[in-house]
Amino acid sequence: MKRTLFYLFFLAFLSLSGKAQEDKDIYERYCAAMKEEAALPTGDLMVETARFFLETPYVAGTLEDVPERLVVNLRGLDCMTLVENTTALVWSVKHRLTFDGYASVLKEMRYRNSGNATLDYTDRLHYTADWIYENEKKGYLKDVTKEIGGRPLQLDLSFMSTHPDSYKQLKGNPERIAIMAAKEKEISARPHYYIPQDEINAHAGQIRNGDIVCFVTTVKGLDISHVGIICREGDKLTFIHASTTQKRVIVNEDPLQEYVQGIKRNCGIRIVRPQF
């Protein structure tokens, strides 16, 4: 029995090591591809970085390891990990960081207190509004929604604490649920702004290449349902994202406003700008 368990652990270790090496290889390919692009303005480099991942498979739930650990996965992306990794990669290539340096930046962007020796699930920035707020404090991002014409947005976050069975790290863990409920109240009490879906084109001239677009949802207890990276295709304002329908990273075919208007439970967008 012990030999069998050891063998299974050994196989898992080899598999994990192989995936880690693959991520390092992707990082090295990315750095080589961006060698001549590193001097570009940050927004343009955000777009080029997102384009580097075009056709990468859409894979959900890659961060949900137990116990909590920093997950680096450049092989399969969801909408948030595409945006988060793109931002960390652009920072890394501009500062000529090693793979380990990039992983450290990713950790700082993903967790509220990234310096803790042991990472905790409740310290991960699950709500996009919280991710924006914390990374604005750290100097990585700026929420420019208000300054480009955004209107006040009232949030009443509750989804995670009221649906704990949907999260294996919360299910049957009242202490973590209480922590999440308190955090939801804290996030909701902050000022938030959005651009209503019918006003996006009116503010399009102030939305830049490489901005992070966050799609505001009307689903009760949630803030953002999807994210992407703004890009322009000729005169068309659109975005790059990990598409749940096409199961890969794509440049969206529809103009931004048309896309938002076509999603039943979207009411507008937030625009966040990298600051490096």
Q: Which of 75, 89, 94 is nearest to 242 (CA)?
A: 75
Please write the tens of the pLDDT for every residue from 97-126. 999 999 999 999 999 988 877 899 999 999
**Residue 258 forms part of a structural domain:** yes
17 falls in which pLDDT band (50, 70, 90)?
A: low
**Residue 164 forms part of a structural domain:** yes
- Look up the domain containing 117 and give its range: 17-274
Please write the tens of the pLDDT for every residue from 182-229. 999 999 999 999 999 999 999 999 999 999 999 999 999 999 999 999
Residue partners of 58: CB distance under 8 A and separation at least 6: 76, 77, 78, 242, 243, 244, 246, 247, 248, 249
**Residue 72 forms part of a structural domain:** yes
The CATH number given to whatever domain includes residue 208 is 1.10.3670.10
Q: At what angle do helices 42-52 and 2-33 cross, to 10 degrees?
A: 130
Length of the chain: 276
**Residue 9 forms part of a structural domain:** no
Specify the 3-state DSSP secondary structure of 158.
coil
At position 137, the amino acid (one-letter code) is K
Looking at every residue in the chain, the average pLDDT score rounds to 93
For residue 8, the model assigns a pLDDT of 43
**Residue 148 forms part of a structural domain:** yes
**Residue 255 forms part of a structural domain:** yes
For the chain, the domain total comes to 1
